[in-house]
Amino acid sequence: MGLRERILADTKEAMKAKDSARLSTLRLISAAIKDREIAARTGGGDEAGLSEADLTAILSKMVKQRQESAKAYEEGGRLELAERELEEIRVIQSYLPRQLDEEETRAAIEKAIADLGAESIRDMGRVMAELRSRYAGQMDFGAVGPMIKDRLMK
């Protein structure tokens, strides 16, 4: 069962269970997917629809947006709104692949560097592109960039 089918099935389950918090988050996910499909069609994209990698990218972006919002709410003293954002993050993350831990991330970086024969900081873009293609949605690329930079500067 693909990601899109899982989301649809879970939306139906949430409706039956009257789980309004989960249902609203699943509807937000569905709306984001629909928006991206419409943008792809009107932008001259292919008619085949979005791939699993595209869906993972959408979900990753949604998590990042909610993390930023939760932080802003906490700083503003709106803890109830921050908690709601964190709940949405938990629901969205349940559809993302398992995140690699730091040790696995370092191993993936080493493997990508070795596979590409990267030797200097000039190769950083190629290494990042390789990791993005292999591990989309499984690592935080904001944290990976400095790790690659440190490794290539040795």
* CA-based nearest residue to 138, from 108, 96, 86, 106: 96
Cβ-based neighbour number of residue 1 at 10 Å: 7
Q: Return all residues near 69 (Cβ < 8 A) that are at least 6 apart.
A: 81, 82, 85
**pLDDT tens, position by position, 125-149:** 999 999 988 887 788 788 898 999 9
Q: Hey, what domains does the chain have and what are their CATH numbers? A: 3-93 (1.10.1510.10), 102-152 (1.10.10.410)
pTM of the model: 0.73
**pLDDT tens, position by position, 67-98:** 999 999 999 999 999 999 999 999 999 998 88
Looking only at Cα atoms, what is the longest distance across the chain? 56
